[in-house]
Structure 1
Amino acid sequence: EAAKEQGLDQRQSYLTDFAKYQEQLSRNYVYEDNVTAQMVEQAYKRSKESLKTSHILILCNWDATPQDTLVAYNKAKELRQMVLNTPDNFNDIAAKYLEEPKADESRGSLDHFTVFEMVYPYESVAYNLKVGEISDLVRTQFGYHIVKLEDRRPVLPKRTVSHIMIGTRFDSLDTAKDRIMEISGLLEKGVAFEDLAKQYSDDKNTGINGGLMRPFTKGDLKAPPFEDAAFALTQKGQISAPVQTRFGWHIIRLEDMGKSPTFEDEEERLTKMVKLGDRAKIVTTAVSQKIKEELGFQAYPYKSSFMAVLNDSVFNRKWRFVPFENKENRLLFTIGTKTYFYNDFGAYLE
């Protein structure tokens, strides 16, 4: 307020600097929007395909010491060379060396996945592989991965079906089969599907709605026999023969074949996911790098000595800086023609 009363906000020098600041800020926002838009478009394209991969993981989180990180890296590097020499033995090697629970059972094989269902570095590498190709080492928050692309297939439009399920949790497999066959016979006699679902289905969540399920595509339910039977139906109202899954026996009716969403349909949802997920870090890094380039930022390799004098008190503004002496006061970074030494930055932080 005092500055305004003195008219400082009307000075030409202030107005010029403020205009430059506004222009710089607007350019950064535009650039951020452009990067976000590119990642949304990438996500949409990837959503059209589902991938199946195998991997070998050597655990090493971000907090690991440099020594432990190097050990993990070298181990992963050796394993990658091993699988490159004998690519047909990838899953045998994974079963022996993969560092995750039940590795001997999974043998490194993962379920099909699509966009946003894996951490971004893993997803990006997988989508850029050809079927049968083995990746270089992939670093994530879990450690070092070696990825092999096993299969890629188009993501089919989500279908809506209703089903009647007779589970095997309480009945034997034979009893459940007898019951589903009885229900199949009632359907052939003209009894309404909805009525039978409400009365007999062991899936109570859908039974109360006449067996109606949420839309899904292949891979969503993790029940291949059910999904295959549902996607084999070709006409609305068509009813399948009884189908056995690990949950029990099912009869499926097709309600809607669905349509593939357009980019416009998905743009808002994908934009939110890009901004909330680990892709947001990619956007922030790209914008930061752009700003550094425009300002002529250059860092020097002496940061470690300065970081050694910092502690947690800097976060609550209780840290006190002791200036470096002469030769110890090294150059930390430059911005354009301006240079900043340890003592400059230390005084700023304090």
Structure 2
Amino acid sequence: MQLRYLFTFLLMTLILNVKAQSAQKDVLFFVDDSPVYTSEFLRVYNKNLDLVQDESQKDIDEYLTLFTNYKLKLKEARALGLDERPSYKRELSNYRKQLIKSFMTDAEVTDAMVAEAYERISYDVKATHILVKVAENASPEDTLGAYNNIVKLRNRALKEGFEKVRKEVHNGQTIFGEELGYFSGFSMVYKFETAAFNTKVGEMSKPFRTRFGYHIVNVLDKRKSRGERTVSHIMVVEKKGDSLAEKPEVRIQDIYKKINQGESFDVLAKQFSDDRGSASKGGVLPAFSSGKLGSQEFEDVAFGLNDVEAVSKPFKTKYGWHIVKLIAKKPIPSFEAIRPELEQKVKRDDRSKLIDEALYKSLKEKYHVANNQAALDYFESILTDDFFKRTWKLPNNFKEDIPLFKIGKKQFFYKDFSNYLLKEQRRGTQKTSLKSVVLKKYNNFLNSNLVKYQEDNLETENEEFAHIVNEYRDGLLLFDLMETTIWNAAKTDSIGVEDFYKTHKNKYVLPQRIDAVVASSSKQKILKKVTKLFKRGMEVDQIKALVNNNDKIEVMFTSGIMDAKHQALPKSFQFKKGISKIHNHNGTFVVVQVNDILEKTQQTLEEAKGTVMSDYQVFKEEKWLKDLSNKYKIKINQEALNSIKNKIKK
């Protein structure tokens, strides 16, 4: 018997030892006594791998440094009690409530909403509307007044014409009469979108309410969606304050002529487009659909191009002058292809309210919770008009311990609902029947607790949800820490900023620049002629007249103050007064006349303040991290680290 017990003891000891060793191997490093597991590191590393721009950060050791710094900061944030701040807890709670909607939805209702959304993004509606503004929580009198006003305006519009009334009543404050152009699904709030899509072309909707007030919408047209367009463009804007700069309408016409002469659109965009964001990419813009850009004129031209590689004539928008080239056309994807994206949009949209109602219904069924009519009748009998005055109190004989309903393992009593009513009356309630007040408050109380019960249990049931919440929790905590410790401190530390500037003054210097004229042409022979004319001392306008004519643009000129990174200058261009040799640059030829060289200039603290402040924050953070690494010891499990490296290599 004793031998058997000894064998059992040895076996249990062995099992516990193996488990302890396994757990130890799962720990990648300790921050003091707090373990960080390999599973978390690998999950975060793999998740962020495609987002990392700096190749060095894909190296495990480099990424581990970033990760340990991240954990050091979180350790400090908790040591400072930032996770106990009410504002932090409130922000996290709000986020969880929003996120949870993605995990707690009624599938049938969601599917119907997604199908409807696909139908709506498949069409564009053109409409105008009239809005009478009224707040969501407006008094019954103000709400009724706004409703009566919109009804009167609709009656007028039926008699006098919508456009006439719209233009007359618009004041931009209480009444808005606006042209909306074409829009598709998800472009407007859901109630407005529904009214517009359910109104026939040429007709006017009945009055409806959104959170902005009461509307009537007039539908002018409905068409199949034009899908997406990918275009490249060349944009020329007016150079205010630059007397030497050419007028944008003249310059854009010169560029257009060069395109018609067969010169590369991409090369011309790199050379001459004032849209710096797209110029380096040959003018290519991200794909867009109707109503997604801030310019109807630009969209109309882009969607008016039917053939890939087709180029528009120059046209003007509020941003400047443009030439557009069609790169690709993409129709609306199939329903199955776009379904996951639509589902996410539906859950973030006003449509989610309908999904919420379905969720409440399903949770009631799941937990077998029904309206407690006896409780409703009882609370209606004890509620008085004092509730609307915020002075209502419970009667002395209040039955607080009677069961109200049960959700899962949690029992609620009359006292729980009474406490809720007492808190609610402080918010103020518009006077209505006591029966409707009790029913509304009871449903709100029940629904919020149904959701809360699911929230409280979801992290143990759904690993993905737990990871997302944890990442947000840490990210929010880190933001609060950085704001408190680094960002705000740097903003208020004027002496520290000034000392930092003095110590690093050589960093804040304007680079050497030139006052120059750059001539660009696809033909080297023409630039040899321009070089000779430069040497004769001829003005740019005179040279242009000699080498270009109204029908053919052979040379483009760019004048002004330029640094070495200017798009018109060849790479590694040597700053030297006079006329340069002919360079091959961005697929074309350029020659540069350097009129003057502007030497490096020391910036004052005021001139460089934005950059100095940013650098000072980095400086403070690096010093702070060194202090943290001394305060909290990092102990790396080398065996676990080697295992990670081997996994990633495979």
TM-score range, shorter chain: 0.7 to 0.9
**Which one-letter code corresponds to 2:148 in the other structure?**
N
Which ranges of structure 2 fall in alignment gaps of 5 or more residues? 1-102, 406-412, 420-650
Question: Which residue does 2:322 correspond to in 1?
Answer: 250
Matched, 1:114 2:184: yes
Instruction: Quote the Cα distance in structure 1 between the aligned partners of 2:171 and 2:209.
Output: 14
**Which one-letter code corresponds to 2:356 in the other structure?**
T
Question: Which residue does 2:383 correspond to in 1?
Answer: 306
Instruction: Quote the Cα distance in structure 1 between the aligned partners of 2:167 and 2:396.
Output: 54
**Which one-letter code corresponds to 2:383 in the other structure?**
F
2:179 match: secondary structure? coil
Q: Displacement, 1:219?
A: 3.2
Normalised to the residue count of structure 1, the TM-score between the two structures is 0.72
Q: Displacement, 1:246?
A: 3.2
Deviations 1:150-202 (A, max 9, x none): 22122112111111112246489x93222122212322344322221111111
Question: Which residue does 2:268 correspond to in 1?
Answer: 196
Q: 2:138 is matched with which residue: 47, 64, 78?
A: 64
Q: Displacement, 1:36?
A: 0.6
Contact 2:196–2:219 under 8 Å retained in 1? yes
Contact 1:168–1:247 under 8 Å retained in 2? no
Contact 1:50–1:114 under 8 Å retained in 2? yes
Contact 2:106–2:362 under 8 Å retained in 1? no
Q: 2:351 is matched with which residue: 256, 270, 279?
A: 279
Deviations 1:82-104 (A, max 9, x none): 22333x2x23222333463497x
2:289 match: secondary structure? coil
Instruction: Quote the Cα distance in structure 2 between the aligned partners of 1:182 and 1:290.
Output: 66
**Which one-letter code corresponds to 2:234 in the other structure?**
I
Question: Which residue does 1:16 correspond to in 2?
Answer: none
Change (3 A) 1:247 1:60: same
Q: Displacement, 1:348?
A: 4.2
Change (3 A) 1:243 1:204: same
Question: Which residue does 1:84 correspond to in 2?
Answer: 158
Q: 2:207 is matched with which residue: 137, 154, 158?
A: 137
Deviations 1:270-315 (A, max 9, x none): 111111221111111234356779966467798697386669x9xx
Matched, 1:151 2:228: no
Instruction: Quote the Cα distance in structure 2 between the aligned partners of 1:96 and 1:301.
Output: 54
Contact 2:105–2:355 under 8 Å retained in 1? no
Question: Which residue does 1:40 correspond to in 2?
Answer: 114
Q: 2:284 is matched with which residue: 202, 212, 232?
A: 212
**Which one-letter code corresponds to 1:214 in the other structure?**
P
Matched, 1:49 2:119: no
Cα RMSD (Å) of the superposition?
A: 3.7
Of 49-58 and 188-197, deviating more is: 188-197
| % same residue | 34
Change (3 A) 1:97 1:310: same
Contact 1:197–1:210 under 8 Å retained in 2? yes
Question: Which residue does 1:184 correspond to in 2?
Answer: 256
Instruction: Quote the Cα distance in structure 1 between the aligned partners of 2:154 and 2:131.
Output: 11
Question: Which residue does 1:9 correspond to in 2?
Answer: none
Question: Which residue does 1:20 correspond to in 2?
Answer: none
Contact 2:184–2:290 under 8 Å retained in 1? no
Q: Displacement, 1:122?
A: 0.9
Instruction: Quote the Cα distance in structure 2 between the aligned partners of 1:283 and 1:177.
Output: 52
Instruction: Quote the Cα distance in structure 1 between the aligned partners of 2:260 and 2:153.
Output: 58
Contact 1:221–1:227 under 8 Å retained in 2? yes
Contact 1:57–1:99 under 8 Å retained in 2? no
2:291 match: secondary structure? coil
Instruction: Quote the Cα distance in structure 2 between the aligned partners of 1:252 and 1:183.
Output: 12
**Which one-letter code corresponds to 1:141 in the other structure?**
R
Of 193-202 and 218-227, deviating more is: 218-227
- How many correspondences in the alignment? 298
Change (3 A) 1:227 1:97: closer
**Which one-letter code corresponds to 1:147 in the other structure?**
V
Instruction: Quote the Cα distance in structure 2 between the aligned partners of 1:324 and 1:96.
Output: 61
Deviations 1:67-88 (A, max 9, x none): 22122222222222222333x2
Matched, 1:75 2:149: yes
Which ranges of structure 1 fall in alignment gaps of 5 or more residues? 1-28, 314-319, 336-343
2:199 match: secondary structure? coil
Q: 2:167 is matched with which residue: 68, 73, 95?
A: 95
Instruction: Quote the Cα distance in structure 1 between the aligned partners of 2:271 and 2:387.
Output: 69
Instruction: Quote the Cα distance in structure 1 between the aligned partners of 2:231 and 2:332.
Output: 17
Instruction: Quote the Cα distance in structure 2 between the aligned partners of 1:218 and 1:224.
Output: 9
Change (3 A) 1:150 1:307: farther
Bigger Rg over Cα: 2
Q: 2:295 is matched with which residue: 223, 234, 251?
A: 223
Contact 2:121–2:185 under 8 Å retained in 1? yes
Q: Displacement, 1:60?
A: 1.2
Question: Which residue does 2:306 correspond to in 1?
Answer: 234
Q: Displacement, 1:249?
A: 2.4
Normalised to the residue count of structure 2, the TM-score between the two structures is 0.41
Change (3 A) 1:268 1:324: farther
Determine which structure has the larger helix proportion and give its number. Answer: 2
Question: Which residue does 2:439 correspond to in 1?
Answer: none
Contact 2:146–2:214 under 8 Å retained in 1? yes
1:110 match: secondary structure? strand
Change (3 A) 1:100 1:225: closer
Instruction: Quote the Cα distance in structure 1 between the aligned partners of 2:139 and 2:108.
Output: 37
Instruction: Quote the Cα distance in structure 1 between the aligned partners of 2:314 and 2:180.
Output: 28
Instruction: Quote the Cα distance in structure 2 between the aligned partners of 1:152 and 1:145.
Output: 19
Instruction: Quote the Cα distance in structure 2 between the aligned partners of 1:95 and 1:307.
Output: 49
Question: Which residue does 1:167 correspond to in 2?
Answer: 237
Of 180-189 and 61-70, deviating more is: 180-189
1:153 match: secondary structure? strand
1:235 match: secondary structure? coil
